[in-house]
Amino acid sequence: MKFSSKVLVILTSTFGLFSINFAVSLPAIASVTCVGGTISNYPNGSLASCILGQDTTVQVSSPSSGSSNFECQAQQSISFDEKAQFQSCQLSQEIQLRKGNSIETCPAGYKVNVSIAPNGVQSTSCRP
């Protein structure tokens, strides 16, 4: 009986720690600071576009491409699709895009466009 009681105490303590860990690990909440009067929403209420009030870092993740960071410039437009997925902004810093076996440089001031296909493949392009 003593052995099973010790095992029960250890298991109970371990499960208690796991449940505390899950309760404390909440997801982060992100926000976009928009200039007043520049916000455009979709009929479902999600943000379609606005003029950024400050430089903003956007992180886009896809199963096939991993994650990419885009530094979006203040006082320029940022846009999203109806599912609140990032679509485009004007870059405040230069980035490099991998295109197959080559690398394309997108200078600061260029507009970056991102789309993720239903199969998870991310497509990124930039233009002046």
The rounded percent of the chain whose pLDDT value lies above 90 is: 38
95, two tokens: 């980035």
CA distances 71 to 5, 6, 18, 44, 106, Å, are 56, 54, 36, 27, 11
What's residue 26's pLDDT? Answer: 35
- Could you write out the three-class secondary structure of 12-51? HHHHHHHHHHHHHCCCCCCCCCECCCCCEECCCCCEEEEE
Name the stretches of the chain with pLDDT < 70.
Answer: 1-30, 63-65
Structural tokens at position 59: 């992180």
